[in-house]
Structure 1
């Protein structure tokens, strides 16, 4: 088996990834800085222009946005402890954003999360700063990657509104019991008035589902600025922005994109678990602060060609995982931190002693500074060290990007920023080769020549260690220019025919009525769907079901494909009952499917050596965190009750006992701030549990790209493998949308089927929600062959695009663009693909547009009609897991050499122009023949709200795939 020696992450990463990445644009929205100029002044003033506690800009700095007009919930403070929700007062509430400026319809504006508004403004500021207000970016090759952590205000509002119906029922019962003899009916009137009051307080719109999604943020940015590249949101706790930057760098170095707009923000608007670091975090606890920043990144050769101003170049981005089971906490391992630093400098090709400035951004400040203290003992002069936390506090998901922005500006201005001494114990410099800069000073060129260099490092509570190396760009310095063969990803090509194939060497899956992937495939062959009425425990019909009308508080649909959530950890995984109980349902399911994957592979997880990635597509706002927030909002409900006109004649002595009675019926909130609560609130906790509990040195990240989330996660894994930044990856998706909240929000927009989802059928009228999870273990093909792995299939290409039009309506041009991108990476034509696992929305418009998009790419002479199908006809729409379900079905079909059927197809929709391809939709399983001896091939499509499109090409592995 693979011993780890000679792994790509250690030895030959530079062959592909050596071109520097240019930082050509910056945006900064922080409590004490509302522009790039403000931000730089903030870090060069010894006292600090503004205060991280109050968030007030100092005199002479911009304290307001240049835009006017607001959008958002009708009333602030509907669930947060303060305007910012952090309790620190370090907020961005005063920033106003003109939604009309970004072409947002008024009907959608009120349902937008505040983070959407802030990131739109940051994107505008960043593109203006880069000079792209007057000239266009390469539209079809510009990606948008955003990073946030924890729920968004709109998610909290929607959850509170849905939960308010349950409180209203208890209010009605308690009021009826307390009512004095008389006309009666006060209970029903109070409940109805309460519901109306909560709607006014929280705001409600059919667009609430779209407005609350984290992936709507990059989609909004893409639509506003007509950017048609990859579009996704990521979360990795306090390493979130590092993961966003890393993915952008990977895509640039793989030549998948020409520019990447990376945005990261933190707004603490809920009352759920506080992510303030604990004593074992390796960081001093600081108040959580708000902040939004952005970077525009390009390959240096492209930036120079296009005449861009280059702030600095990013020459390495190293991520490592210190896997440790148990409650999430920052790494305290100096050896592991040293390994991360050494790997980064080794790939940079420069000695660590060439660093002149160390920026500690995010968690693990003391660990990073302490490790560099030992590393630089022989340095000829003290090395400056600082932390962005001294001015900003802890901006958590945004911290890494804030640090990169600070260092890029310092390199550009050739000045070392000042460090405030008010971060006790964080930067231990006494008796070390490190020093803090009390007053900003000129940044002297290294005595031995060469460019000025700096590092930005941090850590995540999930165990990730991050280390970035930046250096100055000198226009007249030949060393800033990469060698020509390295400028466009020289190691991408495999035998000169395309990017190296990625081998699937393991898989697992769990869906309704199917405990594993074998049962999933058996269900396909049986030809019967697993859709049925959702149990009352998931959809309380008395409260939440109304079959004949659109409603903001009820679902007209009741069908779904739910699955049970595991009650105990997998065998051999030791998680205490208290912690396991605190985990989110998606985390438990993901852990169980990972266990199936490892068991099916027949090898212990410990045989996976080298550096890995665990990328899981999911909703970035987990139910556990929303529930924790809602449970702490009884005061909001009770405050509303006190204001009801129905109870106007009640005295305080009558109202307070009533509230007590309601509370007894409704239930008290659970214990606050349990040590394990944070674990269940992190979307990246799904991936982190897998990495840490199985001892994998694999960086965890959650990916949201609406319904395309799991294929976006697979794309991230494929890209990281092809750059050599990872030796293996576990990728897929999980979501459990069979619940009242999701069904109500989707019903309000008319997205759900009144009966069952029927893709491609004349009766198609919407989708049916289904719970699901599928995960895949991936390696580069050459590594899988070397390690003796059983190769189950090959991922040959992944294309992605954004429509940059409507957030709701599908677009054939955008979908076909993703398909063409996938074929640009392979050495075969669309006619050589036998089967397409379609997204299959189950709406007449969506199905028609998808077939039209296929016709634009797949039409032409072929040996036999293209087979089309969709797993949704069996298990419903599994949201973030939908692409993973489709990939699992296609992979198993290739392995079984059987074309899978479709369920519930009675009358084919005549509007589908299948003859143009030609294509057909079969209702029975068929043998899969190719006729020419070539490998079986399939396409897998996954399209998401926000105009997000992904298309993957899967190929059968045969002995002819030599190396």
Structure 2
């Protein structure tokens, strides 16, 4: 994954910088009223959200806003985060508390306490910990990583894309590379990139130590920062202060099966650096400074004599900054380039970052006259990715700067025009050459289509192994501790890996359930390869060249949350034995109580296995697919709430269109049928009291569902050249943020995403035959979605009514995987020439003005007649919490 497949792509300017003091993150006070945040929502916000709001404010202020104009309509917000957040941990612990309290009651009774005392002990413990943990109905929204960029977008009225990404130590580089691709393609006009890392759980440190063998382990380092990026030509036009320019950001992945670990390949590292310098149009001997990030680069960082070297963590406590490391390094180097002095230690002692506390020596120009100051930031991640970013100083014509020699530097805008390239990039169709899925009642894509054609929902009571009804189910009641529904689209987590993969049982046991499910769906995806395209592990399944694996999911896997919860509960011995209700027990009885409690709660005392951290990384899903299937593809996790799958698809399509990748795997996975999510969604009244029934007059909410959908993508011309089976074409993807309410849908925001999708294609909305709607099954959501569709799809002559449907009536709302379910259903319908039906629709909601489009919602499969002179066309929508909107335009491939 590189930011351009040809040299001299337009530089990207860093026009704003903020870096919060890492030593004072716990002391920073953020006035939530300043951002219009209601007190009820404020109680549910994670600490990182507050810190990133503050970093965003400082960064925008550093760039001169709000006094200076900002292209808010097309300004994206991208955040980089690793591991679960504090509110996620607190909510998981609160939901698990009733189970633990019951075990305390049983252990107390077994140790000799009378029934009344044992019951009082459980109730006392619940009350004590509930007060400590807090909670509100908005906890589900407040804990989500994607709420952070959405909150920033709402606070500053930024209506571009909003998403959160994670790729271990490569996180910042992935965010910066994506931002650069978006800017160069003119999909966005500015991108606010933020990255942050906090020590949210002692479990992560323990798992990291287990992976590294325990000896000489660098601790997790905290930090939060932000940069504002624009195309250099726009920055010059707007007379922005430019700290430095990004010439290139290249990432390469070394797929190595087994436990995640950094790549030892010197050859791949050297090739990554060479490709990056070539794409930047920079000779290696003109680089004067190199900054190292993350895991060690194999063989060290060899360079020319006289090159200065640095490492940002040396100023941040000599630890591992993970998500924040890359951005902190870029900030450090950009300030050095602007100040014409080699980097010193980052400082934010006055509250606003703009200098260094220990300035380095003067930075003279390069080895040849006329060469500007140049630097490289490089690193490696424990998942096997190498990163290489090239920075260069920018000098405004005629503007003297302290320390400058007066020699000529690179012109502000290079002589290759960006606009024809950007227009061509938008026009490139992307072929879906492979697909796979597993949802309720559907073990694979064929089973998925059979369920759809049957017209029967697969939503039903979730198993007792998932929901303990005695503890957590209370029909009809809004509660912070119970779910009022027991319905869901449950999918069992696989017990064994696919047959063609040699995954050790010990390692497989440490994986998150979403990782196991995705691994199984990937087996279906790659089984579609023909023998001529190559088979077998280590061959990339016939997918040579550069790739990307972008998987939508939750940033904060359940595996980590559960492990953190067990760690906390395992440390409550003194709290339990100190309960007033147990004062009558002897010391020996209390000892027996604790022994019985450990035995029943499954707490072990053994050493942690090295692979344990693998299940705690959200990007572990993507990295697992890349490594086990031999894909030289950069892995990353994407969270954009319920639109996560389509956000991942957007990243993949952008990488393909820009030439950053030759193939991509994209999709989403989430296991939404779990007690935690069911309780948190019930607390806000989001779930249906019966079952998901989009567009029905009685619709009262959604029903959770498990699922995973994956797609293999290539540029259309490449797919035709390679003789691939083409399931359909991705023609356009539009995205937006409402910049309004985090939970209420907005017509204008959804229309904006639709308009941006159609700006990429050469056909009109009236030529789209089918709309796969988000269709949550809430009265407000359904009404707003149809109203937004009417704004766009009602224009122009329409030969047939627009058909509208939603997969959620069959499989439930699969959260991060929802967009993949909708896209899978649409592609299968295109291939079958059949318009898919809805189910559970009894009485159409009369508030939906379908006649104005005109549109119909069918309840049985219908033939999809190919319109004269053109292919079948469809659209897929996904709308997420936080005002996140995505709209994808899909077209059938017509065999010639």
Is the counterpart of residue 240 in structure 1 residue 199 in structure 2? no
Under a length normalisation based on structure 1, what TM-score does the superposition of the two structures give? 0.87
Q: Given the alignment, which residue of 136, 147, 161 partners 2:80?
A: 147
Q: Is the 8 A contact 1:529 1:904 kept in 2?
A: yes
Partner residue in 1 for 2:713: 778
With 672-681 and 335-344 compared, the bigger mean Cα shift is at 672-681
1:94 partnered with 2:22 = no
Structure 2 residue corresponding to 1:347, chosen from 270, 276, 279: 279
Please point out which of 678, 684, 690 is paired with 1:749.
684
Deviation at 1:103, TM superposition (A): 1.2
Q: Aligned runs of 1:604-615 on 2, under 5 Å?
A: 604=535, 605-615=540-550
Are 1:319 and 2:251 matched, yes or no? yes
Q: What does residue 56 of structure 2 align with? A: 123
Indicate the residue corresponding to 1:892 in structure 2. 828
Deviations along 1:846-885, one digit per CA (max 9) or x if unpaired, are 1000000101111133111100000001000001000000
C-alpha contact (below 8 Å) 1:521/1:889 kept by paired residues = yes
Instruction: Rate the CA distance shift 1:408–1:107 in 2: closer, same or farther, 3 A.
Output: same
Aligned partner of 2:865 among 926, 929, 949: 929
Mapping of 1:18-37 within 5 angstroms?
18-31=9-22
Corresponding residue number in structure 2 for 1:530? 458
CA distance in 2, matches of 1:943, 1:669: 42
C-alpha spacing 1:515/1:856, structure 2 compared with 1 (3 Å):
same
Structure 1 equivalent of residue 146 of structure 2:
215
Task: Give how far 1:371 is off.
Answer: 5.2
Partner of 1:826: 761
In the aligned structure 1, how far is the partner of 2:14 from the partner of 2:280? 17
Among 544, 553, 557, the residue aligned to 2:481: 553
Between stretches 264-273 and 878-887, larger displacement belongs to 264-273
1:455 paired with 2:376, answer yes
How far apart, in 2, do the equivalents of 1:879 and 1:458 lie? 33
The offset of 1:99, in angstroms, is: 1.2
Equivalent residue number for residue 108 of structure 1: 41
- For residue 6 of structure 2, give the secondary structure of its aligned residue in structure 1: helix
Are 1:272 and 1:629, in contact at CA under 8 Å, matched by a contact in 2?
Answer: yes
- 1:69 matched to which residue of 2? none
Does the 8 Å CA contact 2:670/2:816 hold for their aligned counterparts?
A: yes
Deviation at 1:321, TM superposition (A): 0.3
C-alpha contact 1:172 1:187 (8 A) present in aligned 2: yes
Asked whether the equivalents of residues 9 and 727 of structure 1 are also in contact (C-alpha less than 8 Å), the reply is: no
* 8 Å Cα contact 1:386-1:419 kept in structure 2: no
Name the structure 2 match of 1:443. Answer: 363
Q: Aligned equivalents of 2:893 and 2:423: distance in 1?
A: 20
**Which residues of 2 match residues 148-547 of structure 1 at below 5 A?**
148-178=81-111, 185-274=116-205, 276=208, 285-364=217-296, 366-367=297-298, 370=299, 372-373=301-302, 376=303, 379=304, 381-392=305-316, 393-418=319-344, 440-448=360-368, 449-476=370-397, 479-483=410-414, 486-488=417-419, 490=421, 492-493=423-424, 498-547=426-475
Separation in structure 1 between the aligned mates of residue 430 and residue 423 of structure 2, nearest angstrom: 12
Match of 1:480, SS state, is coil
Asked if 1:14 corresponds to 2:40, the answer is no
778-787 or 321-330, larger mean C-alpha shift: 778-787
CA distance in 2, matches of 1:385, 1:556: 59
Partners of 1:9 and 1:241 in 2: CA distance = 14
Matched residue, 1:866: 802
Change (3 A) 1:446 1:155: same
CA contact (8 A) 1:278 1:285 kept: no
Do the aligned partners of 2:427 and 2:760 also contact (CA within 8 Å) in 1?
A: yes
Q: Is the 2:2–2:251 Cα contact (8 Å) retained in structure 1?
A: no
**C-alpha separation between the residues in 2 aligned to 1:227 and 1:593?**
36
Identify the residue that residue 505 of structure 2 maps to in structure 1: 577
- Deviation of the 1:386 alpha carbon: 0.7
2:372–2:409 contact (8 Å) kept in structure 1: no
Deviation for aligned residue 1:493: 1.4
Q: 1:896 to 1:180 in 2, by over 3 A?
A: closer
> SS where residue 255 of structure 1 aligns?
coil
1:278 CA displacement: 7.8
Any gaps of 5 or more consecutive residues in structure 1? 1-7, 32-54, 56-62, 64-91, 421-437
- 2: CA distance, partners of 1:608 / 1:135: 47
SS at the partner of 2:748?
A: helix
Q: Distance between the aligned counterparts of 1:748 and 1:242, measured in 2? A: 37
CA RMSD of aligned residues (A): 2.1
- Could you say what secondary structure the match of 1:479 adopts? coil
SS of equivalent residue, structure 1 residue 846: helix
Please, which of 619, 625, 641 is the counterpart of residue 560 of structure 2? 625
CA drift at 1:276: 4.1
- Whether the aligned pair in 2 keeps the contact of 1:194 and 1:641 (CA below 8 Å) is yes
CA 1:95–1:491 in structure 2 vs 1: closer, same or farther (change >3 Å)? closer
Alignment of 1:699-848 (within 5 A): 699-848=634-783
Q: Write the distance in 2 (CA, Å) between the matches of 1:669 and 1:159.
A: 20
Residue 280 of structure 1: how far off its partner (Å): 7.4
Q: Does 1:854 align with 2:789?
A: yes
The answer (yes or no) to whether the contact 2:12–2:180 under 8 Å persists in 1 is yes
**CA apart distance, 1:480:** 3.1
In structure 2, C-alpha distance between the alignment counterparts of 1:615 and 1:561, rounded to whole Å: 24
Distance of aligned partners of 1:671 and 1:615 in 2 relative to their CA distance in 1, 3 Å threshold: farther
- Deviation of 1:548 after TM superposition, in Å, equals 2.0
Contact 2:77 2:161 in 1 (8 A): yes
Go from structure 1 to structure 2 and tell me whether the alpha carbon gap of 1:566 and 1:168 turns closer, same or farther (over 3 Å shift): same
Deviation at 1:620, TM superposition (A): 0.9
CA distance in 2, matches of 1:897, 1:549: 44
Alignment length (residue pairs): 863
- 2:352 corresponds to: none
Contact 1:280 1:330 in 2 (8 A): no
1:848–1:415 Cα change, 3 Å: same
Matched residues in 1 for 2:74 and 2:340: separation? 32
1:295 aligns to what SS in structure 2? strand
Q: Is the 8 A contact 2:394 2:412 kept in 1?
A: no
Alignment partners' CA distance in 1, 2:569 and 2:208: 24
Relative to structure 1, the CA distance from residue 130 to residue 815 in structure 2 (aligned partners, 3 Å threshold; closer, same or farther) is same
Q: Where does residue 3 of structure 1 map in the other structure?
A: none
CA contact (8 A) 2:211 2:610 kept: no
Please tell me whether the aligned partners of residues 337 and 371 of structure 1 are also in contact (alpha carbons under 8 angstroms): no
Partner Cα separation in structure 1 for residue 765 and residue 216 of structure 2: 56
Q: CA deviation at 1:446?
A: 1.5
d(CA) in 1 for partners of 2:654, 2:40: 38
